[in-house]
Structure 1
Amino acid sequence: MGGLISQQPAAAAEWRSHWPLVLAAAIGFSFHSVVSNAIGLFIEPLNAEFGWSRAEITAGLSLTAFMTVPLAPVVGAAIDRWGARRLALPGLVLTAGAVASFGLASGSVTQWLALWVMYAFISLSVKSTVWTAAVSGTFDAGRSLALGLTLAGTAVAQTIVPPLAQWLIADFGWRQAWYILGFGWGALAFITSVFFLYGAHERTRERAKDPRAKAPPVLYGLDLKEALRDPALLRIALATLITMFLGIAVIVHQVPILTDAGVSRESAALLASLAGIAGIVGKITTGWLMDRFTSGWIGGFTLSAAAIGFLLLLEPFRTTALIVVAMIIIGYSTGANFQITTYLTSRYGGMKSFGKIFGTMSILVTVGAGLGPVVAGAIYDMAGSYTPLLIAGIPGAIISGLLIVGLGPYPEWNEGRVQAEA
């Protein structure tokens, strides 16, 4: 299964020094995930009040995806140059307002999509690249687990947001629910980032002020042009596109999928939380394993496992017990996906141009996450069920796992681990 990596003393030292950074990054990333995990709970209230179709309600996710595609590498380059903190702090404030603004929807589809355009542009400053770049540039021996815990933020959101949004909508109304989610969660992310979000760029600036300090390590790896031709990174990219398309489609529509299967709305929200908990376990477990083994079998098996979950949600397999099992499997697999992508990108591409490379990789993440929900909504509008989506998900999950298997050993960027004397 690959060679065991013996870096545990170094990993422990990294954690003692930098665990607050992981905490801040996890909370910040959870805030970026609030909208995608909440929108499924708003489908019925918006349909009831405005008569919008499910495709129209979720179209903003696709609009966000296509708007951010050309700008993601630009954001990555900005992170490489200025660091995550300078983008994240103002970005969190503006994104909180953008999320809250969904509560201002007037019934016009044009205005609804305009609100999504604003959100898409503003939220670039708090996308995954911001948080993963800060953590990846700080951790080496313990990088996979650190990324797993950082990206567990989205699974925390997946766990908390559905029942929270259901309660807020039921007790306060859907408009107030948007206001509370935006300003409440955004405030928590902003406060923790103010105190703890100090990545490699910030430490480099502090080190430059101290004449006795050693020079910062030189970061090595592929540049963007080399990465675009690298077979391993291309396979990771395709697997990511497929998995994000299927995974986010199911996550966004999981409450309607479950209610169509006869589950009550309240129980569906709780099952969505169960999938979120499984996602947290998936990120942490996968992160722990990938810090110790170099084999693609870990990531490949994890991604392919979602096929079992899709199968169990189909007739005649689904029963109450198997629906619970299916949501756990899908949550585990989907939750670990982004962690697998981020970690493998940092290992196979190196840290020299991580912001640009992962910014480009995140285009596929965004496209998959944007197309999945609206395609799923269109499938339901045309077929009257989500069965075609679940059937297509079975071979899709298997293919994405096979792409990760057999990537080979990680490149040795040994020279990047040596600090030059000042």
Structure 2
Amino acid sequence: MVGRRVVAAEEWKRHWQLVLACSVGFSFMSFMTPAAGIFMESLSHAFGWSRTQLSAGIAISGVLSLLGSPFLGALIDRLGTRRIALPGIVLTALAIVGFSFANGSFAQWIGLWLFWGLVVLLIQSTVWSTAVASVFDAGRGLALGLTLSGTALANVIVPPLTDWLISSFGWRAAYVYLGLGWGGVALILSAFFLFDARDQYRLKGAGGPQARQGSAELPGLTIAQAWRSTELWRVAISSFLILLITIAVLIHQFPILLEAGVPRTKAAWLVSLAGAAGIAGKLVTGALIDRVHARWVGGITLASTAIAYPLLLEPIRSPVLIVIAMMISGYAAGTKIQLCGYLTARYAGLRNYGAIFGFMTSMIALASGIGPLLAGVSYDRYGSYAPLLIAGAVVSVISGILVLSLGQYPDWSTSNTEGERKA
């Protein structure tokens, strides 16, 4: 254990800048999710659109991610992350600015989301998690936690920032400031520090096919073996189920709080507080899964939201219970993609991590697209988010049980690509 901690410390000394760049890059990819809920009221007033219409764009971008993620993952395994992420950041910033030109045409609105959904593929979680997983081993859990805390960072900053930008400059200018400002910071950090194992290997001047591929010496499952892995299927199904409800609540949590009678300004800060809890969740979970099997940490954490969602229902909810619910939900929400990335690396190895996690990302994207749409339909049909919250409690328990049922990690230090189970 002491030796492993020494190795982890050395990894951090050499690669902390990469984690910083990836965390900010992932926050840039992620911030449109919490921002969408803040923009809903302004866009609804401007164009008369329903919650279902406002959620349709995210659903479409989720479908694009579903279709494109495995191909992107395979491309990452071949080219490395840097060559994909840098142009992706620039195009995503331009796509976000494009939302400022919305004119009330629903067809145009869908077109804007289609463009954003295509270019944001280049900076999705597969890119950042692959970069970090390729250079960290002993400290991988915490490194992935900090990297993927970018989404929690976005959840903290975006609600009050977006609300202030809309109130001060209008919703059109808010899109411009968010896209160019956040995107500019992400681009600078990635330009200086985004070098994964394949990039570093290439920069050392190694020749031959390994320098081009960069993945030949990495241990892990083949694609065919990954398809047969029951552990990976449990990780995928659990991630899909929990994110189906989590993203739905995340997108609509601002309207959910308004429906509960929370004033607009306080609602924005409560959403931000949940994002802060998400950062804590990633850090605590990252530290724990480097020491304890992730099935225990993940299973308990994912199931915990079954407690939170009912606290937002009438007649249970109260100001204190709403705060408690938001903290629990935020803490657990901060761990979901992190756990998926970590468990994928442990059960699949790194040989084809990009492609395999790309499939996981497709499941996440499908859930991200369907969840908000179902939440919008729930509200438009029933005039309440109660069905969504009740379903969320049930799904949380199922997802937690799936993670708890996982077996021991394969030992990828062996020459056998199937790996050997650690005792």
Scaled to the shorter chain, the TM-score interval is over 0.9
Q: Within 2, Cα distance between the matches of 1:106 and 1:406?
A: 50
Equivalent of 1:94, from 85, 91, 96? 91
2:119 equivalent to 1:122 = yes
Q: Within 1, Cα distance between the matches of 2:33 and 2:167?
A: 19
Q: Within 2, Cα distance between the matches of 1:209 and 1:392?
A: 53
Partner of 1:367: 366
- Tell me which amino acid in the other structure corresponds to 2:330: G
Partner of 2:404: 405
- 8 Å CA contact 1:217–1:416 kept in 2: the answer is no
TM-score normalised per structure 1: 0.95
- Tell me which amino acid in the other structure corresponds to 1:153: G
Partner of 1:151: 148
Partner of 1:420: none
Stretch moving more, 162-171 or 407-416? 407-416
- 8 Å CA contact 2:135–2:197 kept in 1: the answer is yes
When residues 37 and 414 of structure 1 are mapped into structure 2, their CA distance, relative to the original with a 3 A threshold, is same
Partner of 1:142: 139
- 8 Å CA contact 1:204–1:216 kept in 2: the answer is no
Deviations 1:338-375 (A, max 9, x none): 11000000000000000000001111000001111111
2:30 equivalent to 1:47 = no
2:190 equivalent to 1:197 = no
Partner of 2:203: 206
Deviations 1:150-178 (A, max 9, x none): 00000000000000000000010000000
* 1:19, distance to aligned residue in structure 2 (A): 0.3
Q: How does 1:77-92 map to 2 (within 5 A)?
A: 77-92=74-89
Partner of 1:329: 328
- Tell me which amino acid in the other structure corresponds to 1:367: L
2:292 equivalent to 1:293 = yes
- 8 Å CA contact 2:19–2:143 kept in 1: the answer is yes
* 1:8, distance to aligned residue in structure 2 (A): 0.8
Q: Within 2, Cα distance between the matches of 1:6 and 1:174?
A: 53
Q: Within 2, Cα distance between the matches of 1:126 and 1:22?
A: 15
When residues 94 and 226 of structure 1 are mapped into structure 2, their CA distance, relative to the original with a 3 A threshold, is same
* 1:294, distance to aligned residue in structure 2 (A): 1.9
- Tell me which amino acid in the other structure corresponds to 1:15: W
Q: How does 1:24-39 map to 2 (within 5 A)?
A: 24-39=21-36
* 1:208, distance to aligned residue in structure 2 (A): 3.0
- 8 Å CA contact 2:294–2:339 kept in 1: the answer is no
Partner of 2:275: 276
* 1:314, distance to aligned residue in structure 2 (A): 1.1
* 1:65, distance to aligned residue in structure 2 (A): 1.0
When residues 225 and 260 of structure 1 are mapped into structure 2, their CA distance, relative to the original with a 3 A threshold, is same
Q: Within 2, Cα distance between the matches of 1:231 and 1:414?
A: 21
Q: How does 1:150-229 map to 2 (within 5 A)?
A: 150-209=147-206, 218-229=217-228
Q: Within 1, Cα distance between the matches of 2:62 and 2:3?
A: 40
**Structure 1 moving runs of 4+ over 6 Å:** 214-217
* 1:68, distance to aligned residue in structure 2 (A): 2.2
Q: Which runs of 5+ in 1 are unaligned?
A: 418-422
When residues 67 and 216 of structure 1 are mapped into structure 2, their CA distance, relative to the original with a 3 A threshold, is closer
Stretch moving more, 315-324 or 349-358? 315-324
2:303 equivalent to 1:304 = yes
Deviations 1:231-287 (A, max 9, x none): 000000010001111111011001100000000111010000000000000011001
Secondary structure at the aligned position of 1:70 is classed as helix
Q: Within 2, Cα distance between the matches of 1:295 and 1:153?
A: 21
* 1:217, distance to aligned residue in structure 2 (A): 8.3
* 1:226, distance to aligned residue in structure 2 (A): 1.3
Equivalent of 1:75, from 72, 83, 100? 72
TM-score normalised per structure 2: 0.95
Q: Within 1, Cα distance between the matches of 2:258 and 2:383?
A: 13
- Tell me which amino acid in the other structure corresponds to 1:177: A
Q: Within 2, Cα distance between the matches of 1:406 and 1:13?
A: 33
RMSD: 1.7
- 8 Å CA contact 2:77–2:215 kept in 1: the answer is no
Q: Within 2, Cα distance between the matches of 1:371 and 1:58?
A: 9
Stretch moving more, 288-297 or 42-51? 288-297
Q: Within 2, Cα distance between the matches of 1:95 and 1:415?
A: 41
Q: Within 2, Cα distance between the matches of 1:71 and 1:45?
A: 31
* 1:71, distance to aligned residue in structure 2 (A): 1.3
When residues 166 and 97 of structure 1 are mapped into structure 2, their CA distance, relative to the original with a 3 A threshold, is same
Deviations 1:376-413 (A, max 9, x none): 01100000010000011111000000000031211000
Q: Within 2, Cα distance between the matches of 1:167 and 1:278?
A: 22
* 1:415, distance to aligned residue in structure 2 (A): 3.9
Q: Percent identity?
A: 48
Secondary structure at the aligned position of 1:137 is classed as helix
Instruction: Report how many residues are paired.
Output: 412
Secondary structure at the aligned position of 1:7 is classed as helix
- Tell me which amino acid in the other structure corresponds to 2:20: L
- Tell me which amino acid in the other structure corresponds to 1:101: G
Q: Within 2, Cα distance between the matches of 1:408 and 1:319?
A: 41
Stretch moving more, 67-76 or 38-47? 67-76
Q: Within 2, Cα distance between the matches of 1:139 and 1:364?
A: 25
